[in-house]
Structures are given as structure tokens and as C-alpha cells.
Amino acid sequence: MKEKDVERLLDKFDESSLKDFEFSNKDFKLSLSKRSDSAPVVVNDSKALQSTPMQHAAAVATATKPQKKVAASENDANLAQVKAPLVGIVYMSPKPDKPAFKSVGDHVSKGEVVCLIEAMKMVNEVKSKVSGTIKEVLVKDGDMVQYDQPIFKITKE
């Protein structure tokens, strides 16, 4: 895994409501936690092991710096998207027999849960980053979503 990929994962993890995240591949393991009682970020990669701890710390510090935002066009200025913070199966309601968290036309407040994503047998809440009205639901209940895939369009207040 390349350093830019790790930095991107760090940014998305930082923006998400997840408390823990773990990714592993053949010779690579990345564990992230926002819990105060946990160990720091652990990167286990045969190539990364050749660098010094200070280089790892510098890479993590670089990854957590705020990125510049690209200005939205005038048409999109009043629209926001809720995007999937991870790959998984999206659930629009807390339980199969319960109504959806939010539907088209519903008001949503910043920080309010709009859906759930199940990944690796863990269910994660997806929260809105803006207040407004649900304009469009872009996925169906039970769909597999990809990382950073738009799930909702919200008309901002």
C-alpha cells in the first residue's frame, strides 16, 4: 500500500464516526483507533519497516493536516452529499421491521444518523455533516456501497 493511500485512509477515518478501523493484506496491516486508551497507529509493512519511526510519525502528521477544498459550482453550492465512510452494506433503517432513518423530503440535522453500514460484521452509523432536507436517496437498502460513494443528496439550510 502506498503512503498516499494510507494518508487518504487516515483522512477518511478522521472524518468518520468510526472509533476503530483495521485493514490487512498479505504483508500489510493498518490499525486505527480514536479511543484514548488504545495504542497509536500501527503500520506493519515489509517496505515500511525499512524506514525509521520518525519517518512514520512524519507521514502520520502529514496525513492529518487539513486538505484544501475545491470550490463547488454555483449549481452545487446549496447541495451536500452524505458519502460512505467505508465499504459495506448499507441499511436505511435500524432494524428490518423499523421505518427508514430518513426519506426524501425529511429534515436532517448535522450529526444525525441517516443510515448504517455493515462491514466485517460491525455496524457503523453514518451521520450527516450538514443540516437540511433530503433531496435524493442514491442507494437502496441492502446495497453494497464503496468507500466515498454518495448515499444521500441534501439541500442545505
The structural domains of the chain, with segments of one domain joined by +, span 3-63, 79-156
Band of pLDDT at residue 3, cut at 50, 70 and 90: confident
The Cα 45–Cα 57 span in angstroms is 15
The Cα 20–Cα 66 span in angstroms is 21
Calculate mean pLDDT across residues 99-128. 94
Examine the pLDDT at 5 and tell me if it is beyond 70.
Answer: yes
Examine the pLDDT at 126 and tell me if it is beyond 90.
Answer: yes
Contacts of 44 (CB under 8 A, 6+ apart): 28, 29, 30
Band of pLDDT at residue 1, cut at 50, 70 and 90: low
CB atoms within 10 A of CB 114: 20
Which pLDDT value is given to residue 139?
Answer: 95
Q: Which CATH class is domain 79-156?
A: mainly beta
Calculate mean pLDDT across residues 81-100. 94
The Cα 42–Cα 112 span in angstroms is 31
Q: Among residues 77, 148, 142, which one has the least CA distance to residue 116?
A: 142
Which residues are registered as beta bridge partners of 1? none
The Cα 136–Cα 133 span in angstroms is 9
More confident residue, 2 or 110: 110
